[in-house]
């Protein structure tokens, strides 16, 4: 279903990291979601891999824009797809190992996840 979609809309006001965003991105589908939802800012690069909005009017306006502008939609989708490759089980496992090793050594670690 995602592979035949033009836009992925995630209108949750509260959302975690956003696995659905990455799943859509793997199919070249950009996501529109709320900036205030928290986790979406980690999975959407605003204006690059998708769109983060502040209110309902902006959400509707961007949805209309992406549905009518195939060039912009394709650009966002291509960049989303490229970025989705950064999120793999191998990368997640390596980041977790890095954190656990730092904890074991009583070191502070940041920027791995």
Question: Which among 45, 21, 17 has a CA at the least distance from the CA of 31?
Answer: 21
- Whole-prediction pTM: 0.79
- Residue at 102 is within a domain: no
Domain extent, residue 28, equals: 2-87
pLDDT tier for residue 38 given thresholds of 50, 70 and 90: confident
CA dihedral for 42, 47, 49, 55, sign (positive or negative): positive
Kindly report, residue by residue over 56-67, the tens digit of the pLDDT: 999 999 999 999
Q: Look at the chain and report how many structural domains it folds into.
A: 1
- Residue at 104 is within a domain: no
**Whole-angstrom distance, CA of residue 48 vs CA of residue 84:** 12
- Residue at 93 is within a domain: no
Q: What is the mean pLDDT of the chain?
A: 90
For residue 76, the domain's CATH number is: 3.40.50.2000
Neighbours of 69 (CB within 10 A): 12
């Amino acid at each position: 279903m995602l592979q035949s979609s033009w836009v992925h809309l995630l209108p949750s006001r509260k959302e975690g990291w956003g696995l659905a965003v990455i799943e859509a991105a793997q199919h070249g589908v950009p996501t529109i979601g709320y900036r205030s939802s928290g986790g979406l800012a980690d999975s959407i690069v605003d204006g690059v891999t998708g769109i983060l909005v502040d209110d309902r009017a902006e959400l509707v306006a961007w949805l209309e824009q992406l549905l009518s502008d195939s060039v912009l939609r394709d650009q966002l989708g291509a960049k989303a797809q490229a970025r989705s490759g950064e999120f793999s089980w191998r990368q997640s496992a390596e980041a977790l190992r890095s954190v656990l090793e730092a904890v074991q050594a009583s070191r502070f670690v940041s920027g791995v996840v």
